[in-house]
Amino acid sequence: MAAAFDLTQNPFHLLDLSIRAGREEVVEAHEEALADGRADEGVLVRAQQAVLTPRTRIEAELSWFPGIPPSQAREILSKLERSSLAEAHGTLERLQGLDKANLAADLCARSAGETEYVNTLLEAYKDFAAGDVHETLRGLRSVSGFPIPDEQQVGSVLAGLRVIHAKAAVASITAAKSPGEALTEIVETFLALGDDNVEHLLALIVREYDAWSQPHLATIKERIEADIATYRNGGDLVPVEQLVKLLAKWDAISQPVQQFEEFKGHEERRSKEIYAIVRDFCLWLANENSQYEEALKLSRALLETFPELPVVAAQLSDDVDKLESLAEKAKSVDLMGPLIGSVEATQTKTSTFDDDLVTFGFGPKSRGLAKKLYDAFVDMAAKTAGTELADMPWMVVRGLAIDLHNKHESREGACAILEGLISHKGTTPSKAVVERLREDQRTLRRNLKWEELKRIAIAGDVPKGISLVSELLDGADADEQAALLQLKAALERKKAATVIMRLFWGLASAAIVGYLICCYGQ
């Protein structure tokens, strides 16, 4: 971007004139400038016309140094002409208001990439208002003899000057190594001031920057659309990494505009468009292709790129939550596939599997279907150790034990599985799962004792029955304990078997509690 503001091209400098000069002084200065060859004749003629015409003279005056003596203005211009920017920079501290803003704008254009001058320009705008400038011009015109402009004229010229200052600021910003980062820092700093005059100039700077960024963002958008189209039309790899990088580039350029628009209560249009394109691709990946991990990575990248779009951020947060759940389930199903396959194989031959469990147990010495299941369990437990899925192998096999107990009434087979899980060495699940398995085991063992008590009651083996009742009393709740004590009393009185069985059945229906209810994911 070409320099947008240059004090050395101001008519007062070209003609070597005081800002207080009257008509005769202007004519004389023009003739001297022509004789000295200070500039091309056409340039000098236009400079003379500018300062002799009341309307255009305002532009020259406000683009110069209306608040300082002519000698100081000449000193500053001497430094600029010698390209002594360090000396000119030192002068900034002694200037205020519009004078400071004009010198800062000139230095912005001369020192491309040095955004400190942009900061100085914005700071200078805190120190003057149109009314103050109008009063300054009133004093200058009273000396020069030119008509005093009204406040509306001054305000109009200042509005045009703000645009020129903004262009100078953007010339500096866009020459920086990271323009988006540079302007983002400026936006964050000056929005917090709450000064209307500063905010007005900042809005113009952001607008000029937005226009500069448009072709850069258009190129990124084209690449994003091309990558997505290639994959939709049969590409081999989901372009996740490419799209994440392109979104990062987009954000690096667009961030200050997004941030400014958010402050104003708006959503930046181009960013919202690119968000819609990538999110639509995410939904397609997830809903039609079950590629949850890829969709999740892109959704996270979108959330990181566009947090300044309030509605979008809320929507993306919901997307990420859902995709995390779906991705986790897909990962679990995929990883647990071999173990789940072994579980399903046992369910087609439940009787044979149960015999293998009862005879050989569930462990290294298992046989048949039980051995195949145990080997699949050991392999999966090793693969998931130390990961967030570490508990899953135990829960999958526990689910099979529950199925054996609840659906097939194979208490011994279920107990064999639980004992094998609890005694497994090498890898272990969480403490919560271990405790759950032990609680399952206690429940199963009580149920087995109830089965044995039923057989003993029918056989009339009173001593053994009393012994089992005593064992069941340990850990019984209040209702179960009362019923067991009645049964024990009946056994001690050697009541008839029918009486004992009547008590047993009344008790058994209440005692067989703690049924193991679970699913693989619980």
SS (H, E, C) 248-269: HHHHHHHHHHHHHHHHCCCCCH
Both 240 and 264 in one domain: the answer is yes
Is the same domain home to 144 and 220?
Answer: no
Asked if residue 207 belongs to a domain, the reply is no
Structure tokens at 243: 């799209």
421-462: per-residue pLDDT in tens?
999 988 889 999 889 898 888 888 877 777 777 777 666 677
pLDDT-based confidence at residue 468 (cuts at 50, 70, 90)? confident
For 245, residues 6+ apart whose C-beta sits below 8 A from its C-beta are none
Whether residue 306 sits in one domain with residue 451? no
Last-in-domain residue among 334, 369, 400: 334
250: domain range? 212-334
Q: Is the dihedral of CA 378, 379, 385, 387 positive or negative?
A: negative
Whether residue 58 is predicted with pLDDT greater than 90 in this model: the reply is yes
Quickly state the pLDDT bin for 285 (edges 50, 70, 90): confident
Closest residue by Cα to residue 500 from 447, 457, 454, 468? 457
Could you give the CA distance from residue 279 to residue 146 in angstroms, rounded to a whole number?
Answer: 63
Residues 398 and 441 in one domain: yes
H-type alpha helices, 125-195: 130-144, 151-173, 179-191
| pLDDT single digits (tens) 143-164 | 999 999 999 999 999 999 999 9
Instruction: Name the band, by pLDDT with cuts 50, 70 and 90, for residue 521.
Output: very low
pLDDT digits (tens, 9 = 90+) for 401-427: 888 888 887 888 888 999 999 999 888
On whether both 250 and 371 belong to a single domain, the answer is no
Q: What is the pTM of this model?
A: 0.64
Domain count across the chain? 3
- Whether 1 is in a domain gets the answer no
- Give the span between the Cα atoms of 370 and 354, in whole angstroms: 8
Give residue for tokens 């340990």: 474
Unique residue bearing structure tokens 């150790």: 385
Same domain, yes or no: 312 and 434: no
Within a domain: residue 96?
yes
Instruction: Indicate whether 436 belongs to any domain.
Output: yes
